[in-house]
Amino acid sequence: MSILVAYGPEGRGQGGLELARLLSDSSALPLVVCCVIPDRWSSVGPGRQVDRDYEQYLYGLADAALARARQMLGPVAAGVEVEVVTARSAPTGLLAAAERHGSRLLVTGSSSDGAWGHVALGSVTDRLLHSSHVPVAVAPRGYRSRAGHRVRRVTVAVDGTEGTQAVLGRAATVAHDVGAALRVVTFAVRAHPMYPPEVGLHAEDRVVAAWREQAATMVAQAVDALPADQREGIECLVAEAATWREALDEPHWAEGDVLVLGSSTSQSLISRVFLGSTATRILRHSPVPVVVVP
């Protein structure tokens, strides 16, 4: 069992590295830092030597990047395993490495093109979030965590549907393993109508109230189904706003918070992560690290 974190040969990905250290410190699982470089193109002509030189260049970049990663990890680096993997693509290499190491979690950072302090999906992370057989944790852009800190609270996003029980169970196990508090949040975005509905101004309010009651009942049943040692002190709330960004700001986040999402239940590959539209919106607006579980 281990936590595997992706670290590119260009040396970017400090946020993912710091999140992996936080999760490793909290769970006591060993940390593996993996750097993926492309497979060498096998030339059949005079270009073979050029190809070999390029391969050596890539290995040099990877070795230098992993050395920087060890330096960033500080005192815990002595117990960290580093590995250079060759694969046709970074997601393919990372998933193979996660299976080889028996990793319980695969950690990545955000794209440098996204908003500071929020999760931004690059091409590699996006593919992992639609194909991984293990949970994927994504750090917000610019994420930093001080050495020695632990996960203090696990917030799980549920929607009150049949999938609530499964994702809540996974989140409760995570919180129990790291000794963190558990909070259950149902996010709802309710835009204001432009014109009054023909059935009256308060019809929408009645629909929302009914939905709240149904979601609360489903969440309560899911909490009651948890083992006794995992359901004590659980906080439940509904975060409702006019936009997803405002809804994600409602729960009042703190240092040491982690958000857990369940993947879409509409896919046939139920043993893999596959983000639905709602989970994607939540992930893109989250101000804290996100763990997506199959």
For residue 1, pLDDT beyond 90: no
First to last CA, the chain: 18
For residue 268, pLDDT beyond 80: no
> Alpha-carbon dihedral of residues 247, 253, 259, 265, nearest 10 degrees?
-20
User: What is the model's pTM?
Assistant: 0.83
Give the model confidence (pLDDT) of 270-288 as tens digits.
444 455 677 788 888 899 9
Q: In what order do the strands lie in the sheet with 2-6?
A: 81-87, 31-38, 2-6, 103-108, 136-138, 290-293, 257-262, 153-157, 181-189, 235-241
Strand runs labelled E in the chain: 2-6, 31-38, 81-87, 103-108, 136-138, 153-157, 181-189, 235-241, 257-262, 290-293
* Residue percentage of the chain with pLDDT more than 90: 25
Residue 133 burial (CB count, 10 A) = 13
Tokens of 148: 């020695």
What gap in Å lies between CA 244 and CA 242, rounded to an integer? 7
Position 130: which residue type?
H
* Residue percentage of the chain with pLDDT more than 70: 84
For residue 239, pLDDT beyond 50: yes
Q: 2-138 has which fold?
A: Rossmann fold (3.40.50)
CB 139 within 8 A of CB 16: yes
Position 292: which residue type?
V
DSSP state, 131? T
Give SS3 for 95.
helix
What gap in Å lies between CA 270 and CA 183, rounded to an integer? 25
pLDDT recorded at residue 98: 94
CATH superfamily membership of 153-293: HUPs (3.40.50.620)
Give the model confidence (pLDDT) of 125-154 as tens digits.
888 888 888 999 999 988 988 877 899 999
Which has more confidence, 25 or 215?
A: 25
* H helix runs in 115-180, sequence order: 123-128, 164-178
pLDDT recorded at residue 230: 81
Mean pLDDT, range 78-104, rounded to an integer: 90
Confidence of residue 269 (pLDDT cuts 50, 70, 90): very low
Q: What are phi and psi of 27, to 5 degrees?
A: -100, -10
Domain with CATH 3.40.50.620 in the chain: 2-138, 153-293
Confidence of residue 266 (pLDDT cuts 50, 70, 90): very low
